Chains A and B, each alone.
Chain A
């Protein structure tokens, strides 16, 4: 059989992401008790639910920018859960369907949101191979 792919350098999934304690603070944060600061036009409420034996996040409800991508959210959750590089995180809407990594959460909210929030299930798995 044919040999396979060549690998260039070390592509890090988290290359483009900041640490959760820095700029992400602005974009993702637990909704405050006083919900007036949640700008309805720019952020949506996301409820994260773990699947299988994936660790449960201490904070499950997050206000997320509508334009944030699924991939970005997956990276955030991975870092939050301290998953290592060999672990892959999958995100599902409607408990059954993995949206494209480039999909914006705002679009998912429009399609699948109910009771003012978008429920997303997340599940970790060993990366391929």
Chain B
């Protein structure tokens, strides 16, 4: 590994080590092979209770004329204009029948969501990439649910340029709509870390280090006991 990136072979090696540890502690990661080849990706499914954020709903209602339209939103695959100032999505009128119904006054309760996380390798960026999607057991999903899973520590950075951060993307292998955390920043934040550990002759598991950073950004927790992971032999 060098300069903040890694090749696909090393990606696979790092993933296998991660899987080995996951198996030993029952953390739930699995490897999805692609066409019986060495190529594949990591996958994990998590159930999470996500409270709908009432303050966000009410704040938005006060902010302007767009707000009344925005009691709900949908995952969409077609192009959608983004309001430059408020970054609000316009509701999809055709889907009105399927939209989330919020009780008057913006009251909300928590719901159980199923989050699915996939770690793929990006050949163009030469880094891992995190894909994720969420589905609900019982009610239609809102964008706010996914947004609420983003740790507050990272919301500001992600909010400032949402189009560059979390966007909807077609899963390269499944062809289904997922969200993904754009890999454009990965090399930049991995590079100093890798340089330091390289200088000190302490190679790290790239995928693990990367995942520990980006996971919390999208609600995925990576347990501390992964630190005991053996490093891949170079």
Point out residues on A near B: beta carbons under 8 Å: 1-9, 11-13, 51-54, 71, 74, 85-86, 88, 90, 92-103, 107-108, 111-112, 121, 123, 125-129
Q: Which residue of A lies closest to B169 (CB)?
A: A1
Q: Which residue of A lies closest to B75 (CB)?
A: A2
Task: Pick out which of these stretches binds chain A: B15-23, B36-44, B115-123, B205-213.
Answer: B205-213
Contacts A52-B191, A53-B192, A112-B227 given: A86-B160 contact, CB under 8 Å?
yes
Point out residues on B near A: beta carbons under 8 Å: 56, 59-60, 63, 70, 73, 75-83, 86-89, 143, 147, 151-169, 181-182, 185, 188-189, 191-193, 195-197, 200, 202, 204-205, 208-209, 212-213, 216-217, 221-222, 224, 226-227
Contacts A1-B168, A52-B191, A125-B189 given: A100-B227 contact, CB under 8 Å?
no
| Closest-CB distance, B116 to chain A (whole angstroms) | 18
Among B165, B191, B227, the residue within 8 A (CB) of A97 is B227
A-B residue pair count with CB separations less than 8 angstroms: 163
| Closest-CB distance, A128 to chain B (whole angstroms) | 4
Q: Which residue of A lies closest to B205 (CB)?
A: A96
Among B153, B158, B192, the residue within 8 A (CB) of A51 is B192
Among B79, B81, B158, B205, the residue within 8 A (CB) of A129 is B158
Chain A residues with CB under 8 Å of B160's CB are 85-86, 127, 129
> A113–B135 Cα gap in the complex (Å)?
40
> A57–B176 Cα gap in the complex (Å)?
46
Q: Is the CB–CB distance between B168 and A2 below 8 Å?
A: yes
Chain B residues with CB under 8 Å of A99's CB are 212, 224
Q: Is the CB–CB distance between B193 and A51 below 8 Å?
A: yes
Among B77, B152, B221, the residue within 8 A (CB) of A100 is B221
> A32–B182 Cα gap in the complex (Å)?
45
> A34–B167 Cα gap in the complex (Å)?
53
Q: Is the CB–CB distance between B159 and A51 below 8 Å?
A: no
Q: List 28 A-B contacts (CB under 8 A).
A: A1-B167, A2-B76, A2-B77, A2-B79, A3-B76, A3-B80, A4-B82, A4-B87, A4-B166, A5-B159, A6-B83, A6-B87, A6-B143, A85-B156, A88-B189, A93-B227, A94-B227, A95-B193, A96-B205, A97-B224, A101-B154, A102-B151, A111-B224, A123-B192, A125-B189, A127-B157, A128-B217, A129-B160
Q: Which residue of B lies closest to A4 (CB)?
A: B162
Q: Which residue of A lies closest to B150 (CB)?
A: A5
| Closest-CB distance, B183 to chain A (whole angstroms) | 11
